Amino acid sequence: MALPYVLTLIADRTSGSLPPGVISAARDMVKGQTPITLSEAEAVDIPCPAPGTGAPSAATFRAAFASHKVDALFLRARGRRKAVLVADMDSTVVSGETLDDVAELAGCGAEVTAITTASMNGEIAFDEALRRRVALLKDKPAALLEEAWSRTAITPGAITLVRTMRAHNAVTALVSGGFTWFTQRVAEECGFDQHYGNGLGISGDRLTGELDAPILGPDAKRTHLDRLAEERGVKLTATLTTGDGANDIPMLEAAGLGLAFHAKPKVRSLIETQINFANLRAHLFAQGYPASTFVEG
């Protein structure tokens, strides 16, 4: 009879392999069965019984393996593969913050970055922070968008994540508090089915410093998640969300599996399922996909 839980261990491949000693220690902690290799020296599943009184917490697993740069996810074994993926864009599917990159090129990078950091940490309301940042771009050349895009890097594993889930009949959406000017390009490069973001005001060859209403913020991300699940005909338990900032918290909390990806402190304090070291391939291992089934980018 299959055990009801699984502990998934995932190594950061840029820092090294998954040590056998870590696997052995983890197995002992959860009284697990023989580990199942998902990717040699990178990821394993350890089937295990339901946690009893005094069982290790998610925080305990993270602390135990952090020095090895190994992520640990303790999940129910049933229903791991998800039918809907909703992903944040900035600092999740792309490695930087696109608005901050535009601002740096425009000469107001420090001011915009400070507001971004405060917003992502939940210190300033998202709508207010976005308006303040965009206002600093008034009358700047629209060509800066293209220059910022040329410097934008897709996060390792993003294309593989999207293509693999789509190959297994999942609906994938990029939902960002950033701009549709970027979400369209990122969605095309990664293969997302849908993309949503904020409209950035452009008049001629200049940025207007204004946004097209309505603003897509935390509530809108959750709304898109609900809609996509309904359209796909599944419950929220069959959805996966990923993001790093405070505006992602509602959708991370609502999803069947919400993964805080290299997230800000406030997000990590609220979301137990975290990827702090590995890249976006980890989202596939979390669903039980072996690397042999990945559709590589």
The catalytic site residues sit at: 88, 90
- Secondary-structure percent of the chain, ordered helix, strand, coil, rounded to 5: 40, 25, 35
SS in 3 state form for 5-50?
EEEEEEECCCCCCCCHHHHHHHHHHHCCCCCEEEECCCEEEEEECC
Residues 193 and 286: their CA atoms lie apart, in Å, by 21
Count Cα atoms within 13 angstroms, Cβ side, for 250: 14
Count Cα atoms within 13 angstroms, Cβ side, for 266: 14
Residues 32 and 3: their CA atoms lie apart, in Å, by 9
Residues 207 and 138: their CA atoms lie apart, in Å, by 6
**Does the CA dihedral 205-207-120-112 come out positive or negative?**
positive
Q: What is the dihedral of CA 282, 285, 290, 294, to 10 degrees?
A: -50
